[in-house]
Chains A and B, each alone.
Chain A
Amino acid sequence: KAGVTQTPRYLIKTRGQQVTLSCSPISGHRSVSWYQQTPGQGLQFLFEYFSETQRNKGNFPGRFSGRQFSNSRSEMNVSTLELGDSALYLCASSLVLGVNEQFFGPGTRLTVL
């Protein structure tokens, strides 16, 4: 069974631009969560989607948003990029909402110049 896939793997943007990252969960998994990983703040929860609805949200500004499609694939968007948004963005999938066991993708490395 294929794991969680994320595209693109690497991205370079400049301040003020916006970016969209994509995540395909493990086949059969319907819940998708997003995390930001930085050296300073570690791994921080962004949001969780299930049945195309955001079910849970972390402590990030409104510039960070996401959505989920009917096939469970998810996208996250960051608008008006800031230098501090440079990070590894990780997607994790689980079978259904509230199932603790989560499996992570390889991440998208975003660099904001």
Chain B
Amino acid sequence: QQQVKQSPQSLIVQKGGISIINCAYENTAFDYFPWYQQFPGKGPALLIAIRPDVSEKKEGRFTISFNKSAKQFSLHIMDSQPGDSATYFCAASSKETSGSRLTFGEGTQLTVNP
């Protein structure tokens, strides 16, 4: 019940296109859903996060869509750029049951072709 399932495993998008990565969870106690971006040789960097009281959050070209009833959330990258090529991880945590502990998805390797 602690798992977070992420898809696709890899994604190739043309420059200017929209990248969409999906995640699903089972634990209804999760109350925080961040997305991290990781470049080779670096640690994950917090990109954007959402809480279950809103259905969408947008920051620049990055948007999280959240569907509480379906227990799913997704990351949309608009106008994808080659510099966005990285591995993206969704995660979830429950402040009440597990403190700051993050449960991560398996990761999506995004390649944006010029």
Contact = CB atoms under 8 A, between A and B. Distances in A.
Interface stretch (B17-25, B42-50, B57-65, B77-85): B42-50
Contact of A31 (B43, B45, B100): B100
Interface residues of B, number: 25
A87 to B, nearest CB: 13
B89 interface: yes
Interface residues of A, number: 26
Contacts of B106: 42
B114 interface: no
A66 interface: no
B71 interface: no
Interface in A38-91: 42-45, 48, 55-56, 58, 90
A86 to B, nearest CB: 16
B111 interface: no
Most interface-central of B41, B46, B101 (chain A CB within 10 A) = B101
A34 to B, nearest CB: 11
A51 to B, nearest CB: 12
Interface of B: 31-32, 34, 36, 41-46, 49, 89, 91, 93, 95, 98-107
Interface of A: 4, 31, 33, 35, 42-45, 48, 55-56, 58, 90, 92, 94, 97-107
20 contacts: A33-B100, A33-B101, A43-B44, A44-B104, A45-B101, A48-B101, A55-B99, A58-B101, A98-B95, A98-B99, A98-B100, A99-B100, A100-B32, A100-B49, A101-B34, A101-B49, A102-B46, A104-B43, A107-B42, A107-B43
Give the 5 A-B CB pairs with smallest separation, nearest first: A104-B43, A100-B32, A43-B104, A106-B43, A104-B44
